[in-house]
C-alpha cells in the first residue's frame, strides 16, 4: 500500500519514522511519501518537504509567512492527488494537517491521525471537524481518550512512543569521557528547536552559569537548527554543545533547564529534575493566554494533572527565578526524592511500551477492512 505521511517537526519525524518501521513489518509492499525529516527518509520514504521549511512558531510568525504557508498547502494537495495514496497519515502539526485532513477526506482518501492535536488545550470546537474528516484517531496521552469520549468520538489510546525510543536507547557509560573534559556534574540545557524560542530563551538559561561554578553546562542542539546558530548565542559562556546526543546527555545530567515541548517529557522519563521554560512574543502570548484552557504547559504536569515540575512562563522566566529553582533541584533532597517518585508514576500513566507497533497494527487492520 501507499502511505502519505505528514509531520512538521523533529518529534513528529521521530515518531512517524518508528511507525513506518512497524508498518513495513506488516506490509511488505509498503511505499511511503512524506513531509518530515531525516529519520523518515532513512526509513525509506520519499521526502517531499523537510520540516525545517515548515516550522513557524507563534501567531505573528505565521502571519508574516502566510504566503509560504499557503503555497505549501497548494503543493501538498496537488501532490496527494497525483500520488493517490491508500491512506493519508497525519502526525500532530494541526495548523497544517487539519486542513489537509479535510481536503483528503473530501477527495475520497482514508485519513488517519497519529498524535492528536492539542485541541483539549484550545479550540476544542475543532473536535467536530475531526469527527467529520478523520477516519481513525490514535492518541498518545492517557487523558485524551476521555476528552474525545465527551464528544462521542471513539479514539485509540496506544501509549506514548517515547517510552519505546528510550527503552531501546543504548545506555553505555563511556559517553562522558569521550565528549567532555571535566569531572564536574552536568546541567543540561535544552533550549528548543525553533529559532525564535532559542533566541529568546537560551540567553536566560545562560544567565545561570556563573552562579553554579561547581557544575558544567552542556547544551543539546536540535537537528532542525545549525550548531553555529547556538554557538553565536552562547558566545563566550563556558558551555559545551553536542549534536544528536540528547539522550546520552540526559542520562548523565544532574538537572536540566528545558524549553516547553516534547523535551520536558523526555527529560522526566530519564529521571532528570528539570525547570520548564517558556517565553514567547508579547502579542502571541497575550492571544494564547486568552484562548488556552489548560492549567499547565509541560506534558509532565498535564499528564499528572498537578504541578510536578516547576514551570517558569513569560515574565516569571528571569535570571532570579531560574537560579532559585535550579538551586532547589540541586540541593533540596526532599524535593529530588519526590520528583523521582512522581516520575515513576508518570511512566505508569503513559501506558507502557509498544506504541508504534500497536498503532501500526491498528492502522493495517483497519485498511484491510
The predicted pLDDT at position 122 comes to: 72
Q: Across all residues in the chain, what is the average pLDDT?
A: 90
Cα–Cα dist 101/193, whole Å: 26
The predicted pLDDT at position 24 comes to: 98
Domain map of the chain by residue range? 2-159+354-368, 175-349
Cα–Cα dist 207/330, whole Å: 17
Q: Beginning with the edge strand found earlier in the chain, give each strand of the sheet holding 239-243 in spatial order.
A: 239-243, 216-221, 186-190, 253-259, 274-278, 310-313
The predicted pLDDT at position 269 comes to: 96
User: Could you count the other beta carbons within 10 Å of the beta carbon of residue 107?
Assistant: 12
**DSSP helix/strand/coil, 187:** strand
The predicted pLDDT at position 66 comes to: 59
pTM over 0.75: yes
Q: Is residue 283 pLDDT above 70, yes or no?
A: no
The predicted pLDDT at position 10 comes to: 82
- Please give the grid coordinates belonging to residue 43: 526509513
Domains 2-159+354-368 and 175-349 belong to one CATH topology: yes
Report CA-CA distances (Å) from 57 to 53, 54, 192, 195: 12, 10, 12, 9
Instruction: Residue count of the chain, please give it.
Output: 369
CATH number listed for the domain at residues 2-159+354-368: 3.40.50.2000
Residues 282, 288, 290, 291: what is their CA dihedral angle, to the nearest 10 degrees? 170
Mean pLDDT on 87-102: 94
Q: Tens digits of per-residue pLDDT, 119-137?
A: 887 778 889 999 999 999 9
Whether 33 and 83 have beta carbons less than 8 Å apart is answered as: yes
> 56 falls in which pLDDT band (50, 70, 90)?
low
Helix locations, 226-318, DSSP H: 227-234, 246-251, 262-269, 282-291, 299-304
Cα–Cα dist 225/317, whole Å: 23
The predicted pLDDT at position 180 comes to: 76
Q: Is residue 98 pLDDT above 60, yes or no?
A: yes
> 31 falls in which pLDDT band (50, 70, 90)?
very high
Q: Tens digits of per-residue pLDDT, 182-214?
A: 789 999 999 998 888 999 999 999 999 999 999
CATH number listed for the domain at residues 175-349: 3.40.50.2000
Give the largest Cα separation in the chain, rounded: 62
The predicted pLDDT at position 280 comes to: 77
User: Could you count the other beta carbons within 10 Å of the beta carbon of residue 355?
Assistant: 27
Q: Tens digits of per-residue pLDDT, 154-188?
A: 999 999 999 988 888 877 666 776 777 778 999 99
Amino acid at each position: 500500500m501507499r502511505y502519505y505521511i505528514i509531520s512538521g517537526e523533529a518529534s513528529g519525524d521521530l515518531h512517524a519514522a518508528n511507525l513506518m518501521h512497524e508498518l513495513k513489518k506488516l506490509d511488505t509492499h509498503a511505499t511511503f511519501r512524506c513531509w518530515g525529516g531525516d529519520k523518515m527518509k532513512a526509513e525509506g520514504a520519499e521526502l517531499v518537504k523537510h520540516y525545517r521549511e515548515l516550522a513557524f512558531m507563534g501567531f505573528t510568525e505565521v502571519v508574516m509567512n502566510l504566503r509560504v504557508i499557503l503555497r505549501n498547502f497548494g503543493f501538498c494537495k496537488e501532490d496527494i492527488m497525483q500520488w493517490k495514496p491508500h491512506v493519508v497519515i497525519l502526525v500532530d502539526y494541526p495548523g497544517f494537517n487539519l486542513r489537509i485532513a479535510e481536503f483528503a477526506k473530501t477527495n475520497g482518501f482514508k485519513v488517519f491521525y497519529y498524535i492528536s492535536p492539542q485541541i483539549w488545550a484550545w479550540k476544542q470546537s475543532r473536535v467536530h471537524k475531526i469527527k467529520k474528516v478523520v477516519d481513525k484517531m490514535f492518541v498518545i496521552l492517557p487523558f485524551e481518550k476521555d476528552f474525545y469520549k465527551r464528544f462521542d468520538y471513539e479514539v485509540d489510546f496506544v501509549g506514548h512512543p517515547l517510552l519505546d525510543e528510550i527503552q531501546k536507547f543504548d545506555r553505555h557509560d563511556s559517553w562522558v569521557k569521550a565528549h567532555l573534559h571535566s569531572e564536574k556534574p552536568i546541567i543540561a540545557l535544552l533550549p528548543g528547536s525553533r529559532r525564535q524560542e532559542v533566541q529568546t530563551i537560551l540567553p536566560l538559561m545562560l544567565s545561570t552559569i556563573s552562579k553554579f561554578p561547581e557544575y558544567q553546562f552542556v547544551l543539546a542542539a536540535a537537528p532542525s537548527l545549525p550548531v553555529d546558530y547556538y554557538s553565536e548565542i552562547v558566545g563566550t559562556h563556558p558551555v559545551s554543545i553536542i549534536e544528536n546526543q540528547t539522550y546520552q546527555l540526559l542520562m548523565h545530567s544532574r538537572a536540566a533547564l528545558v524549553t516547553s515541548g516534547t523535551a520536558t517529557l523526555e527529560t522526566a522519563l530519564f529521571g532528570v529534575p528539570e525547570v520548564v521554560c517558556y517565553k514567547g512574543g508579547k502579542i502571541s502570548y497575550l492571544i494564547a493566554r486568552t484562548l488556552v484552557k489548560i492549567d499547565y504547559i509541560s506534558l509532565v504536569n498535564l499528564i499528572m494533572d498537578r504541578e510536578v515540575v516547576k514551570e517558569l512562563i513569560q515574565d516569571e522566566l528571569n535570571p532570579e527565578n531560574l537560579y532559585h529553582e535550579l538551586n532547589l533541584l540541586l540541593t533540596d533532597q526532599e524535593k529530588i526524592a519526590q520528583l523521582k517518585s512522581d516520575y515513576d508514576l508518570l511512566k505508569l500513566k503513559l501506558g507502557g511500551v509498544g506504541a508504534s507497533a500497536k498503532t501500526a497494527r491498528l492502522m493495517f487492520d483497519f485498511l484491510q477492512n
